[in-house]
Structure 1
Amino acid sequence: MPILLSLAAFVMTLLGGLVADRIGARRHLVLGFAAGVMLGVVAFDLLPEALALEPLHLHGVPLPMLTFALAFLGIHIVERSMGMHDTHETDYATHRHARAGVGLTAGSALVIHSFLDGAAIGAAYQTGTSLAVAVAIGVIAHDFTDGFNTYTVTSLYGNARRRALTLLTLDALAPIAGATLTLLLPIPDTILGAYLGLFAGFLLYLATSDILPEAHTPRRATGWTLTATVLGTLFMWGVIGLTD
């Protein structure tokens, strides 16, 4: 049963990435919508889920919130030290490889998140079939946006289409692997909560520092991009609300 449910997540993830691949000239709308979706995932899904796991507190602060801040500051320090946002057209090639590495890291983090989505289905199945189906509905509903974001974030940083499609394929396969492995080895809540906080900080930084500025370059239609961002956030609110 968990494997069958995760196959539906596989299909939705691929579909989301292929939609992102076909948008083309409306890239600024894709980026704006993706940023809104990422904000919604952080605010309505990742952080609430992490805090609901009764996480360990360190010096009065829940561990997921500490890893959230750690990820946000960590990626900021890495990007500042490499001067990724200070480049001009004449020296862009110097930093192209570093930027591509960030894109691959971001895409890989999304793959890990999809793996944990599958793990959640497998863990729920250990409690009961009905709970596994409920969890799977939530996973399937937002796996479209996972695939969408995996392709968008990876390609945004200058990676070739082939690399973006490779990570998209891995992202689609990850829920199946997670569901299979969790049937044999459950994930402790403390580790899961810390990871969710870490991923939330990473995702929020990418949305606010990289994707939104790229979407609002001078050549873009700012009004429509803002609308796409708001719609992306509202979309995730609706998805989470319907599957909670």
Structure 2
Amino acid sequence: MAELFRGVPQMLFVSLIAGLATTAGALVVLMLGVLGKRTLSVMLGFAAGVMLSVVLFDLLPSSYAWGGFESMLSGFCLGMIMLAVTDMLLTRFTLSSRRGREAGPLRKMGYLIALGISLHDFPEGIAIAAGSAAETHLGWLVALAIGLHNIPEGIATAAPLKMSGLSTWKIFLLTVGMAFFTPLGTLLGFGMLAVSTKVLAQMLSLAGGAMVYLVWDELWPEAKRFSQSLALAGIALGGTAMSAISLLHH
């Protein structure tokens, strides 16, 4: 155990780099400027595919393995409820001002994506700790996979916010803040692994529930509004890419 905790600072640094990949993805959007609606449709579809793949092939199976069906189901339901309540509060907040009404659903969707990804990054950080606890090189491998799929997640966060008129520096600072959820998760993960695997299981499935709600209620409806065929192509591309990247976890 003492040997494991000696590696904590190094894994926290690796986790932060993986988290900052979200900011790197956002910078792609910020440097390219305002995206066309057809491009946004593909990107939102791609993000939906990435998220569904992560939920189906990583978060829920890992949750079941760590805590069983009951922990997985309770965490999943809690995640959906949490994001539904947040959705309701954000809707009231964005409609409370004239500027918010002008920004339309894109602003709210961008914030929800940011929240969903942050919730997702937290258990991802825990996954880095779990991988490192098993074998040091596995922690690095998990961090690499997380960094790779954080890039399109950063794109998905920045694109609707940019189109809603949110300033570049605010989007940049938001994604930098999101990056710190990964090392925070890693720090918590080292502690949780010594206490309760059921809490870890519920954290993993909570992120899964939040992301499924996000895809169902926000990403897919907005993506297909511009072009259903391009949205479907984006989902297929995102799901395939993330399925390939997730093989690095195993």
Q: Same fold (TM over 0.5)?
A: yes
Q: 1:94 to 1:79 in 2, by over 3 A?
A: farther
Q: Could you list the per-position Cα deviations for residues 27-61 of structure 1 after superposition, in whole angstroms to 9, with x for gaps in the alignment?
A: 12111211111211211121111111133xxxxx5
CA contact (8 A) 2:111 2:157 kept: no
CA contact (8 A) 2:50 2:241 kept: yes
CA contact (8 A) 1:99 1:158 kept: no
CA contact (8 A) 2:119 2:207 kept: no
Identity over aligned residues, as a percent?
Answer: 26
Matched letter for residue 211 of structure 1? L
Query: Which residue pairs with 1:237 in the alignment?
Result: 243
The yes-or-no answer on 1:216 pairing with 2:224 is yes
The yes-or-no answer on 1:227 pairing with 2:233 is yes
Q: Could you list the per-position Cα deviations for residues 106-142 of structure 1 after superposition, in whole angstroms to 9, with x for gaps in the alignment?
A: 4234224323323332343344323322332332332
Shift of 1:156: 7.5
Matched letter for residue 166 of structure 1? L
Deviates more, 1:98-107 or 1:206-215: 98-107
Query: Which residue pairs with 2:59 in the alignment?
Result: 46
The yes-or-no answer on 1:13 pairing with 2:22 is yes
Query: Which residue pairs with 1:117 in the alignment?
Result: 124
CA contact (8 A) 1:102 1:157 kept: no
Shift of 1:194: 1.0
Matched letter for residue 12 of structure 1? A
Query: Which residue pairs with 1:37 in the alignment?
Result: 50
Please list, as runs of the form range in 1=range in 2, the aligned pairs for 1:46-85 lying within 5 A after superposition.
46-55=59-68, 61-73=69-81, 75-76=83-84
Query: Which residue pairs with 1:58 in the alignment?
Result: none
CA contact (8 A) 2:43 2:156 kept: no
Q: Which has the higher helix share?
A: 2
CA contact (8 A) 2:66 2:201 kept: yes
Select the residue among 186, 192, 212 that pairs with 2:200.
192
TM-score (norm 2): 0.73
Q: 1:20 to 1:34 in 2, by over 3 A?
A: farther
Q: 1:51 to 1:160 in 2, by over 3 A?
A: farther
CA contact (8 A) 1:44 1:236 kept: no
CA contact (8 A) 1:123 1:186 kept: no
The yes-or-no answer on 1:165 pairing with 2:172 is yes
Shift of 1:63: 1.9
Matched letter for residue 232 of structure 1? G
Select the residue among 130, 139, 142 that pairs with 1:135.
142
Matched letter for residue 132 of structure 2? Y
Query: Which residue pairs with 1:24 in the alignment?
Result: 35
TM-score (norm 1): 0.75
Query: Could you say what the CA RMSD is over the residues aligned between the two structures, in angstroms?
Result: 3.6
Query: Which residue pairs with 2:154 in the alignment?
Result: 147
Unaligned runs of 5+ in 1: 56-60
Unaligned runs of 5+ in 2: 1-9
Shift of 1:64: 1.8
